[in-house]
Chains A and B, each alone.
Chain A
Amino acid sequence: MSCNLKSYARQVGAVGAGLVLATAAALPLAAQADESASAPTDAVSNMIVVRDAQTGKLRAATAAETRALMGPVRQQRSARLNTVPRYNANGARGARLSDDMMSYSVVVRQPNGGLTEYCFANREEAEAAMKGAPLATNNLPTE
């Protein structure tokens, strides 16, 4: 598991000028947090240090500050999916997947009138193609 210090600092900066990450020692613990959790717990808040906007001194982050700091980081480290967990009595685990994760076929009429059909890995790519994003074999470079 890794935690990108530069990215973390950038996320902290986005929270507000009054909050400053004062110690890199907080990073490894933060990186160990459960990625599937939607919000950090108070149990980790005392490991995050901020500079108080009024006193200018370092102190442990409040739970609210920790949530503000950690939320974006967790988003960065996990991309949530619109799925439903599945369990089977034999111990198997799985999920119902979603329409977003399906393969999509798209057809585009080319300037010469011919049709070109593409298969995309998910809805996002297919929708992008419909909006004119470069496709695999047309829109070739011209120089």
Chain B
Amino acid sequence: MLKLKSTLTPVAVASLLAFAAANASAAATIVITSRDAPGVGFNDPTPVDPVGGNTGTTLGQQRWNVYQYVAHIWEAALTSSVPITVNAGWEALTCTSTSAVLGSAGAWNAWHDFPGGVPGTFYPQALANKLSGMNLGADVPDDGTGYAGVDIKTQFNVNLGNTGCLDGTPFYLGLDGNAGSKVNFVETLLHELGHGLGFSVLSVNTATGWRANSDFSAYVSSGGVPSIWEGFMYDNTAGKTWLVMSNDERKNSAINPLGLAWKSSAMLAAASMTLGPTPGVKVATPVPGVSGFYDYNTAAFGPVVSNPSALGVLANIAAGDPAGQACNPLSPADAAAVAGKVPIIDRGVCAFTVKVKNAQDAGAVGVIIANNAAGAPPGLGGADPTITIPTVSISQASGVTLKQAITDAVKYGSRGRPGSVSGALALDATRRAGADAAGRPLLYTPNPLASGSSVSHWDVSAFPNLLMEPNINADLTTTLVPPLDLTVPLLHDVGW
């Protein structure tokens, strides 16, 4: 038996077993077929040494072994009386020396209005087959490819690691998670097959909010067929699910940061088992109504901030400088205000690093950048190796509240010891990382609609990291259920 990379505690194992027992049924069977030519891809005869539990002795064998290994993980996680079919190939995909398309995967057929499904609702074929108890693609005529009726199609980059294709960095084909500086193929394939099995809104164009029409030949402004996902996609701002939204409402919801959640009672329970407390700036002050947690983001420069850690007493500097707050060396008055403290500095006009360096030069022990526009706290880019104090960002609204509190706090102290506002980085046990205020896990909805975005992922604020976030993180395991992951609970919601 292969040894999996896992950090499961006895409690976690017990939870996992309980989750599995609650969903016990016959496991699924996944049938993988190759479309590779002789000598290519799965048939590559290049000799290789066994690696990380993968005993294959040719490159092709090792690639095949990873597919089988990942298929077994999915087979254990899902149930279906109909075999799940996957067609796989290795192809030359887009590359540069520093980047590459690793591969792609997805449902190859989709259906609606089949026995056992919600009427008028699109499903990926593998799930439609499970619900109907029959292979809906069985009678699909061959289109010359030999795989017209399969559930899922995949292709991965046969050139990865060669010159001109992420030079020198191939797929890691071990099964133990110890990918080092290579690309972990197990996690990549596990993630992409997840999309093909049903972790996808599938029939909605998120850029327009339009749905696919009945034969999936076009996205249309009216009369489209909803996805099985839409009844679970609850927008906290709109106060309704995608199922009952207009096109524009769905479009807006797809770019409503931290506003779109997955709503089901089962998922609520799963998230409570899985997601950890939310990191925040913990503020303490005698000013009524201000103490508590404020969301923050981190900076690419300066020391890495850890949580928990102290920040210090917060301070204001003069506002209204047309040259931008802290864009020039601080005035004597501002320098006196920030010495030994953590100034809140408005974003704008000059680089974050300039503001922070000026504050550091004036004696500040940290900086909080307040956003100058509505929305979530921004990640702070830039580089300056001379910056040695920690920096975090907060939202514009939080900045307004805290700056006013710094002013108001004075009267809550004595003449010799004025009241103050202090901050520290801490974990908010009342909120789960990657969930909304009700504890529902959030889907990824950045604004603007960024590359890598899609509501068909969990939000990147989830902690611990989840398999189906848009970034495939290095600390993932191959466990798909609570308390480590939420992939299977979502798939159960849609019918698996």
Contacts and interface: CB of A to CB of B under 8 A. Distances in A.
Nearest to A106: B101
A130 B218 contact: no
Interface string A98-133: 010111111111000001111111010111111001
Contacts of B300: 140
B213 interface: yes
Given A79-B208, A103-B195, A143-B348, A94 B453 contact: no
Given A85-B217, A86-B109, A105-B103, A142 B452 contact: no
Interface in B76-111: 94, 96, 98-111
**Residue of A105, A118, A123, A129 ringed by the most chain B CB atoms within 10 A:** A105
A: contact size bracket? 35 or more
Interface string B423-467: 000000000000000000000001000111110110010000000
A14 interface: no
The DSSP consensus for interface residues of chain A is mixed
A78 interface: yes
B472 interface: yes
A1 interface: yes
B278 interface: no
Interface string B210-251: 101111111111110000000000000000000000000000
A105 B192 contact: yes
Given A83-B216, A94-B136, A109-B166, A129 B451 contact: yes
A84 B140 CA distance: 11
Interface in B348-363: 348-354
B379 to A, nearest CB: 4
Given A136-B460, A141-B378, A35 B221 contact: yes
A102 B111 contact: no
Contact of B114 (A90, A123, A143): A90
Given A103-B106, A125-B451, A130-B99, A91 B113 contact: yes
A137 B220 contact: no
A71 B21 CA distance: 56
A140 B221 contact: no
Given A83-B216, A94-B125, A127-B94, A141 B381 contact: yes
A88 interface: yes
A31 to B, nearest CB: 9
A105 B188 contact: yes
Nearest to A123: B104
Contacts of A90: 114-115, 132, 134
A93 B111 CA distance: 6
B221 A1 contact: yes
7 contacts: A84-B143, A85-B216, A94-B111, A94-B122, A95-B110, A105-B192, A109-B169
Closest 10 CB pairs of A and B: A140-B381, A102-B106, A95-B216, A121-B454, A94-B111, A92-B114, A136-B452, A105-B102, A85-B215, A103-B195
Interface of B: 94, 96, 98-115, 122, 125, 128, 132, 134, 136-137, 139-140, 143, 148, 153, 155, 166, 169, 181, 183, 188, 191-192, 195-196, 200, 205-206, 208, 210, 212-223, 300, 347-354, 378-382, 446, 450-454, 456-457, 460, 470-472
